[in-house]
Amino acid sequence: MPAVLDLLEDTVERLDVIGNISRDRTRYPDHRGGSRLGGAALFLSLAAVRAGRRAAPVCILGGDLAHLPESPGLDTLDWTARIQADGVSTTFDLQYDLQGELVEVGTDYGVAEGLTEHALRHVDLHPGGTYHVCCRRPLGVAAVLDRLALNGSDFSADFFLPSAEEMIRAATPWLPKATTLFVNAAEHRLLEQVIDSAVLPEVVITDGPRAAVVHRFGRQVASAVPPPHPPREVSGAGDTLAGAFLAHRSRGATAAQALAEATGAAARYVAAPSHPIPAPRRG
| Residues in the chain, overall count | 283
d(Cα 253, Cα 196) in Å, to the nearest integer?
26
Q: Which residues of 255-282 are buried (b: 16+ CB within 10 A; e: fewer)?
A: bebbbbbbbbbbbbbbeeebbebeeeee
Three-state SS at 280: coil
45-104: per-residue pLDDT in tens?
Answer: 999 999 999 999 999 999 999 999 999 889 999 999 999 999 999 888 878 787 677 777
127-186: per-residue pLDDT in tens?
Answer: 999 999 999 999 999 999 999 999 999 999 999 988 999 999 999 999 999 999 999 999
Query: Given this model, what pLDDT does residue 12 score?
Result: 61
The model carries a pTM of 0.90
Q: What is the DSSP string of 27-52?
A: E-TTS-EEEEEE-HHHHHHHHHHHTT
